[in-house]
Amino acid sequence: MKIAKIHITLKEGVLDPQGKAVQGSLHSLGFPSVEDVRVGKYIEIKLAEEDNAEKQVEDMCNKLLANPVVENYSYTIEEVVTQ
């Protein structure tokens, strides 16, 4: 089995109101060094053993998991050893 670990983030230049709110809270908690916060998503997908896992994950990201108008994605695919 394989596991795809996918990170989805807002593109640079796209305003992230949630990130801004988190940044404000971190400042008020006493972390003045915080310069910027971007909030994204993390998705894990378990995949049956397949040769073209990479292509499949790309397709999933492009078709549904990320919205290319406002989001970027990156991923890693790892082998999972089942015991």
Partner 1 sequence: MKFAVVVFPGSNCDRDMYYAAKDVLGEEAELVWYTEANLENYDAVLIPGGFSYGDYLRCGAIASTSDVVSQLKKLAERGVPILGVCNGFQILLESQLLPGAMLQNKNLKFMCHFENLIVENNETIFTSEYEKGEVVSMPIAHAEGNYYCDEETLAKLKANNQIVFTYQNNPNGSLANIAGIVNEKGNVLGMMPHPERAAEAILGSSDGLKLFQSIVKNWRESYVAGA
14/80 with CB nearer partner 1: 14
Q: How far is the CB of 36 from partner 1 (least distance, A)?
A: 17
36/49 with CB nearer partner 1: 36
Q: How far is the CB of 81 from partner 1 (least distance, A)?
A: 30
Q: Confirm if 82 and 19 have CB atoms less than 8 A apart.
A: no
Q: How far is the CB of 30 from partner 1 (least distance, A)?
A: 22
DSSP-derived letter for residue 38 is: -
Strand partners for 76: 5
Q: Confirm if 62 and 73 have CB atoms less than 8 A apart.
A: no
